[in-house]
Structure 1
Amino acid sequence: MTMKLPGAGDQRRSQLLRGVLDLCLLSLIAERPRYGYEFVESLTESGLELVSEGSIYPLLARMERAGLVASYRAPSSSGGAPRKYYRLTETGGAELADGRAVWHEFATQAGRILADTTDTTDTTEPDTPTEPTGGTT
């Protein structure tokens, strides 16, 4: 019997997301410029609800320092303080294209391995080959 750890699915999803979160953000920015909370909303709507603003802003700052995104301030539609929007740079567009290619290749390769439909719960030892019996009479 296989034991499942509580929350193991969320932990695995979180680890997988951590590895591609930058690409997800670049892809969202490629659609249109966005401000911080819009990323959380879009990711949640896409089923990636494990992301908080606390993980988005440091990543956006690193991406801006790396020249992948540029930011600008624009008035808030609600009349509040101006919002900081992020737009994709040319370097960011190239990084997104490269990252997508790597992701698709990786997902295809991992998918082949994980798509195995054999029953892996059988814990019996495989049959051991035996020496042929019989002889001449």
Structure 2
Amino acid sequence: MGKQETEMLKGVLEGIVLAILARRPAYGYEITAWLRDQGFSDIAEGTVYALLVRIEQRGLVDVEKVPSEKGPPRKVYSLNRHGHQQLAGFWKTWSFLTDRLAQLHEGED
């Protein structure tokens, strides 16, 4: 992934993680693995964990500690009402931006 792609991804990563959590609760490594499976191979686990801490502090997720077969309990994140509202705002902004970008792209010759 090039520098431009990496920078653009950083700008939308929160929305992507919220969308993942809207589908089902997950813990950090699961989210990172899903992102990598979807082609976001340069995403560092630390980036996802730092993002999860921020969205937890902002009250967008509920956290449950679940026993792990290996090591300490895992923090499983699930989107709460406030998180769903934030995600709805993300999709609204995403739609606005993609519409405008498509118009710009269509105007290129």
TM normalised by structure 2 equals 0.91
Instruction: Return the offset for 1:116.
Output: 4.2
Structure 1: how far apart are the matches of 2:107 and 2:31?
Answer: 35
TM-superposition CA deviations, 1:4-57 (whole Å, max 9, x none) = xxxxx6111111111100000000011111011111111112222221111111
Equivalent runs, 1:97-136 vs 2, <5 Å: 97-118=88-109
Any stretches of 5+ residues in structure 1 without a counterpart?
1-8, 119-137
Aligned-partner residue type, residue 87 of structure 1:
S
TM-superposition CA deviations, 1:71-112 (whole Å, max 9, x none) = 111122xx2232111010100000001111101110111122
Residues 1:35 and 2:27 aligned together? yes
Number of residue pairs matched? 108
Any stretches of 5+ residues in structure 2 without a counterpart?
none
Structure 2: how far apart are the matches of 1:47 and 1:108?
Answer: 24
TM normalised by structure 1 equals 0.73
Q: Which has the larger radius of gyration?
A: 1
Which has a greater percent of helix? 2
Q: Considering only aligned residues, what root-mean-square deviation do their CA atoms show, in Å?
A: 1.4
Aligned-pair identity (%): 32
Q: Which has the higher contact order (CA 8 A, sep 6+)?
A: 2
